[in-house]
């Protein structure tokens, strides 16, 4: 899971994405101070 955190106009908003590609595409279009984060769950079988 990918998360974009946006700090704009004294508000914090978070957006979740399933793929890195769609997250990076949105990341480039969102105004304000943005942080792109990958969330990794260690109990997810694909990472075991």
Question: What does pTM read for this prediction?
Answer: 0.80
Residue 37 · residue 30 · CB < 8 Å? no
Which tokens belong to 45? Answer: 């079988």
Q: Round to whole Å and give the CA distance between 31 and 11.
A: 13
Dist. CA 47–CA 1, nearest whole Å: 13
Quick check: 46 pLDDT over 80? Answer: no
pLDDT for the residue 47: 60
43 pLDDT more than 90? no
Share of the chain above pLDDT 70, in %: 92
Whether 3 shows a pLDDT value over 80: the answer reads yes
Q: What is the pLDDT of residues 4-15, one digit of tens each?
A: 999 988 899 999
């Amino acid at each position: 899971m990918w998360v974009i955190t946006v700090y704009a106009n004294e508000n914090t908003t978070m957006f979740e994405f399933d793929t890195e590609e769609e997250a990076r595409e949105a990341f480039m279009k969102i105004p304000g101070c943005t942080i792109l984060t990958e969330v990794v769950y260690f109990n997810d079988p694909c990472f075991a």
